[in-house]
């Protein structure tokens, strides 16, 4: 049975120290993929962009610097419940977002009620996800 948790938050898209603007971002968590959180960014004039990364990364980033590779999440200051900075990177391109901590913590709390932390394995369908991924790869190869 597929269950999910969704929330929409406003994030500041930081263009420079002098310029930022607020955008809606959808947070989504599904029991079909219990390790992942998806964020869909709705930038003005562009098609929405979705990033998926581990729920643990987001949780760790609320408490302190977290992430290697393309996603880095950290509090913006030392005070408790400072805003959260989310930096996304693809090759040389980077995007920086700031978001209030409270709605992210509320979202994570709702995901924990749906799938408690540490219980993801009981919800994960590794064979089904692997089969789907292999079918998608084969379909792309056959289409090309």
Residue 33's domain is classified under what CATH number?
Answer: 2.30.31.20
Supply 76's token pair.
């913006």
Residue 41 belongs to what H/E stretch?
strand 36-41
pLDDT digits (tens, 9 = 90+) for 21-33: 999 999 999 998 8
Supply the range of the domain harboring residue 24: 4-143
Rounded to whole angstroms, the Cα distance separating 12 from 49 reads 15
110-144 pLDDT, tens digit each: 999 998 887 677 766 555 555 666 677 777 777 76
How far are the Cα atoms of 2, 17, 18, 32, 137 from residue 131, in angstroms, in the given order? Answer: 18, 45, 47, 14, 10
**Total of domains in the chain:** 1
9-63 pLDDT, tens digit per residue, is 999 999 998 999 999 999 999 998 899 999 999 988 889 999 999 999 999 999 9
pTM of the model: 0.80
pLDDT band at 101 (very low <50, low <70, confident <90, very high): very high
């Amino acid at each position: 049975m597929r269950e999910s948790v969704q929330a929409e938050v406003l994030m500041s898209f930081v263009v420079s120290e002098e310029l930022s603007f607020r955008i809606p971002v959808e947070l989504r968590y599904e029991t079909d993929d219990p390790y992942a959180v998806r964020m869909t960014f709705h930038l003005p004039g562009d098609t929405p962009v979705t990033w998926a990364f581990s729920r643990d990364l987001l949780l760790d980033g609320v408490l302190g610097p977290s992430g290697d590779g393309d996603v880095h999440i950290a509090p913006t200051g030392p005070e408790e419940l400072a805003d959260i900075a989310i930096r996304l990177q693809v090759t040389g391109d980077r995007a920086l977002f700031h978001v209030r901590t409270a709605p992210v913590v509320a979202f994570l709390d709702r995901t924990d009620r749906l799938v408690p932390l540490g219980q993801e394995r009981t919800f994960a369908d590794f064979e089904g996800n692997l089969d789907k991924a292999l079918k998608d790869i084969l379909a792309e190869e056959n289409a090309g």
